[in-house]
Amino acid sequence: MFDKLASVEARFLEIESRLADPGLANRPGEFRKLSQEHSGLQELVSAYREYKKLKTDIQGNKELVFEKDPDIVAMAKEELKTQEPELENLTKRLQILLLPKDPNDGKNIMLELRAGAGGDEAGLFVGELFRAYQRFSERQGWRFDIMSVSPTGIGGFKEMIAMIEGTNVYSRLKYEGGVHRVQRVPATEAQGRIHTSTITVAVLPEAEEVDVNINPTELRIDVFRSGGAGGQGVNTTDSAVRITHLPSGLVVVCQDERSQLKNKDKAMKILRSRLLEQEQEKAAKEHSDARRTMVGTGDRSERIRTYNFPQSRMTDHRIGLTIHQLSEVMEGKLDEVLDALQAHYQMEALRAAGHLPPGQS
């Protein structure tokens, strides 16, 4: 590990030297590439330098333990009590920073929620969980842009799609994809029986135009009048857009904006993200059919998480985490579960890389 860290630091110093070259200003492409690489290595190099300094300090205190002055010996021993655990934690941090990066971690996402099993209750929970993600995004300072909604007649939704833009959005929310199960007593249930329903959540990294090559001749674009209540002018002009990608058969509909151009732009963003996902599935066989793995069929038995309203608890079944403040979770306070998921999968990656023995966390 430390040979690799030394080579990373050497590369970092090389980049710094090249960035100091005044002539680089005339080569903006090279400057941008070097700046991005420099930024990507900054945290790892800083941690490595902190590690080296701490290692030197510990070695110095270990030598002071053999001094004759009892005060110096006591001081050295006291400092070692805090320095050695710090070194262990820093070593773990370096191991995590050395793990291969997910190329999508820094990307914005397309968040898609759909009603699964359970009828009207599933549609209602789509709206509630969608709002929880919206509130969480607001707390992070992210931009939450509603791209498409398909309402039901009782205040629920068959489908809701949003673009979330900000720093490391995909990295933070990528483990949210899957079947989410809700257990509660519906307002229409006279006998007070608990009803179980499911919704599916998909988290797709945003695809830029450079990520996906879309041939305009392979698109069929239809315009029509928006449905639903809408505002003035929404239902009286052909502003809704349906884009069909002929080779894949993917269909995207957007009708929430009054402007046909805005609806088309949103539909293209959704289409690009879905096509990027398809290309990544083909390129990585171990992640083939990722959407189906992520969202399954929406069946009650396929779930990553359960929201139990009578007991005010949320359980993530992948890591065995239970939180008993469900009302706060539904207000978008998701940090506890997201932190636990990230820590769990980091430990799994460390174990797979041989940095941790089986069972150690």
Digit-coded pLDDT (tens) for 331-345: 999 999 999 999 898
- CATH C-level class of 109-208+294-348: alpha beta
- Give first-to-last CA distance, the chain, whole Å: 19
- Show me where the domains of the chain are located: 2-97, 109-208+294-348, 216-283
- Other beta carbons within 10 Å of 18: 14
pLDDT value at residue 139: 95
Digit-coded pLDDT (tens) for 253-308: 888 788 888 888 888 888 888 888 777 776 554 444 555 555 555 454 568 999 99
Rg of the chain in Å (alpha carbons): 26
Q: How confident is the model at residue 358 (pLDDT cuts 50, 70, 90)?
A: low
pLDDT at residue 201 tops 90: yes
Mean pLDDT of the chain: 85
CA distances from 220 to 125, 181, 211 (A): 33, 36, 21
Mean pLDDT of 65-94: 93
Contact 168, 91 (CB under 8 A): no
Amino acid identity for residue 40 in this structure: G
Amino acid identity for residue 75 in this structure: M
Give the architecture (CATH level 2) of 216-283: 2-Layer Sandwich (3.30)
The model's pTM:
0.69
pLDDT value at residue 313: 95
Give me the CATH code for the 2-97 domain, please.
1.20.58
Digit-coded pLDDT (tens) for 154-191: 889 999 999 999 988 999 999 999 999 999 998 767 67
Are 2-97 and 109-208+294-348 in the same CATH fold? no
